[in-house]
Structure 1
């Protein structure tokens, strides 16, 4: 799987591409400030469900936050659930 990022200044998305599947998985975010993003949506196509693609997007978002020095507000139910399951991600969770 390959994850790409699209940043449009005020927001963006992470895309999870899997060979042989046309439609990528997507996690969208908005930038609340230079040091705070809001992850608001995750969409995984049926063809990619159960393959860990959503989890990979969540891990990528956390890695990007650590590298960029920002915090995450997980409004997306999927991302919120992932952050609840991973207390080791609390360093990037805005609380």
Structure 2
């Protein structure tokens, strides 16, 4: 399954075979967000934007598209990547997606 959306000139799509979301501007790869997906969560581990495309909303488009897809698929999010952590901290409407370890009962 491939999720994609266009935000202005940035087009983002999921490439599950490569384990990453890819952002393109005018057909050129502008950035990627690498992930590891399980049946219950998706861990975003690394985000990279090509220097020529910095400051054009590529990183934010990657995060927003991938988090919207996680929400639609009912997956929790583990934000390992510092860019994801910071972005989610600034966008409280996405904080409900964050993975929390379920407490276990122990006596």
TM-score by length of 1: 0.88
Aligned residues between the structures:
91
Match of 1:62 in 2: 67
Note the residue ranges of structure 2 that are not aligned, 5 or more in a row.
1-9, 101-107
Of 79, 91, 96, the match for 1:91 = 96
Match of 1:29 in 2: 35
1:1-95 pair list within 5 angstroms: 1-8=10-17, 12-19=19-26, 22-31=28-37, 33-95=38-100
Greater relative contact order (CA < 8 Å, ≥ 6 in sequence):
1
Note the residue ranges of structure 1 that are not aligned, 5 or more in a row.
none
Deviation at 1:24, TM superposition (A): 2.6
Higher Rg: 2
TM-score by length of 2: 0.79
Q: Which runs of 4+ in 1 moved over 4 A?
A: none
